[in-house]
Amino acid sequence: MKKGILLVNLGSPDSTKVKDVRKYLDEFLMDERVIDIPRWKRYLLIKGIILNTRPKKSAKAYKKIWWKEGSPLVVISERFSNKVADKLDIPVALGMRYGSMSIESGIAQLVKRGVEEILLVPLYPHYAMSSFETVVEKAKEINRKKYPTIKMDVMPVFYNNTDYIKVMSANLKRHLSGFDYDHILFSYHGIPERHILKSDTTNSHCKIDGSCCDTHSKAHRTCYRHQCFETTKAIAKTLQLKEGTYSNSFQSRLLKDPWLKPYTDFELEKFGKEGVKNLAVITPAFVADCLETLEEIAMEGEHQFKSAGGQEYKHIPCLNDNDDWVDVMVNWVNEWVGEPVNI
Ligand SMILES: C=CC1=C(C)c2cc3[nH]c(cc4nc(cc5[nH]c(cc1n2)c(C)c5CCC(=O)O)C(CCC(=O)O)=C4C)c(C)c3C=C
Ligand SMILES: [Fe+2]
Ligand SMILES: [Fe+2]
């Protein structure tokens, strides 16, 4: 069977125009795994309220980080995908969960090139129903409905994979060189707290307050918070970071529900007020820089920290198209080519 790879990331609007941002947010926020409320309520909330105000605000934010080639997230994902393709003997396609360059067009490209067996690679290190799971469900739906003869495997999450931790640690170390940090904040994309309970396959292990995350459980195969904490622990261990010089937080809240805590913006202010002088912020939930890292963390975050009294601030870039990261992905794919893996 001829094999091929489909890399999938989140996607961006086609441009920074408010109408394009609205179209993108419409698709994104109408996803039942992102805004997980009954369909009629989601319809009223998103189409009736959020889409009247959010697109203008988001378009302004996108304008601050947009590149002449397009959205950083998409451009970086293309560069990564091209580099991976150059090092493999099998076809590689790129798809996005929302916006243009869809998962469907990615699968179609592979099929056109004769592929009969696809390895789906969600470009998320951690499992969340609003990221990894929605990519897998969408791809499987297209697979089932349009390409039922194509076999599809899924690359598992890699939050604690030795090779991923190695490249993340090396990237952090390289960017910290010459920066005399007092503290490193590991800021992960947040999710609503209730998603932790919804994704608990044991229906009993996970607790809202996080007291569960250090107790071994098969629930952790789909526990976003546990997986984020494990990534931090593994990087801290690799780099021998001193206890007390690093911590976790969760960013990018939307709407009024409680999200995973502590909140990044509150932490940035707290650090500034408490006398942390030099702060580094790393964003391991993202493999490619995007609106949430370039605007929220690198720009807004610096402002929040410094206005509260902080002095030096450094956002650590994501892995992006780093050659060592490309090699890691190529090795993982080659392992699959030899022996299929599945979650
Ligand atoms: C890292 C994985 C991500 C998870 C988990 C996630 C959950 C999640 N996101 C929203 C709402 C928004 N996210 C937005 C941007 C955005 N989100 C991720 C990744 C995850 N989201 C990325 C990579 C990006 C950047 C996209 C880009 O084009 O650069 C946005 C859009 C921008 C904005 O208006 O702020 C929204 C909205 C929810 C509600 C959610 C979980 C329920
Ligand atoms: Fe998001
Ligand atoms: Fe947990």
Bridge partner list, 67: 70
pLDDT under 70 in the chain at which residues? 339-343
Structural domain count of the chain? 2
In a domain, 251, yes or no: yes
In a domain, 199, yes or no: yes
Place of tokens 């995908």: 81
DSSP assignment of 145-166 equals HH-TTSEEEEPPP-TT-HHHHH
- Residue 269 main-chain phi, psi, to 5 deg: -65, -45
Quote the domain boundaries for residue 218. 162-316
Ligand 1 atom, smallest distance to 13 CA: 28
Residues 228 and 166 in one domain: yes
pLDDT value, residue 208: 83
Q: What is the pLDDT of residues 93-139, one digit of tens each?
A: 999 999 999 999 999 999 999 999 999 999 999 999 999 999 999 99
Pocket lined around ligand 1, Cβ cut-off 6 Å? 10, 12, 25, 34, 54, 58, 71, 73, 124, 128, 130-131, 189, 191-192, 252, 254, 285-286, 290-292
pLDDT value, residue 255: 85
Ligand nearest to the CA of 257: 1
Q: How far is the CA of 277 from the centre of ligand 3 (A)?
A: 32
Q: What is the pLDDT of residues 244-273, one digit of tens each?
A: 999 999 999 998 899 999 999 999 999 999
Q: How far is the CA of 130 from the centre of ligand 1 (A)?
A: 9
Residues 148 and 177 in one domain: no
Give the domain CATH number at 332.
3.40.50.1400
By the 10 Å C-beta count (0-12 exposed, 13-18 middle, 19+ buried), 179 is classed as middle
Q: How far is the CA of 170 from the centre of ligand 2 (A)?
A: 26
In a domain, 333, yes or no: yes
Ligand nearest to the CA of 101: 1
pLDDT value, residue 215: 87
Q: How far is the CA of 249 from the centre of ligand 3 (A)?
A: 15
Residues 231 and 125 in one domain: no
Q: How far is the CA of 290 from the centre of ligand 1 (A)?
A: 9
For residues 263 and 296, is the Cβ–Cβ distance under 8 A?
no
pLDDT value, residue 203: 84
Percent of the chain with pLDDT over 90: 91
Ligand nearest to the CA of 286: 1
Ligand 1 atom, smallest distance to 54 CA: 34
pLDDT value, residue 72: 98
pLDDT value, residue 343: 44
Residues 228 and 109 in one domain: no
Binding-site annotation: residue ranges for Fe(2+)? 189, 292
In a domain, 343, yes or no: no
pLDDT value, residue 279: 98
pTM for the full model? Answer: 0.96
Tokens for 323, please give them.
């050659």
pLDDT value, residue 342: 52
pLDDT value, residue 213: 83
Residues 117 and 38 in one domain: yes
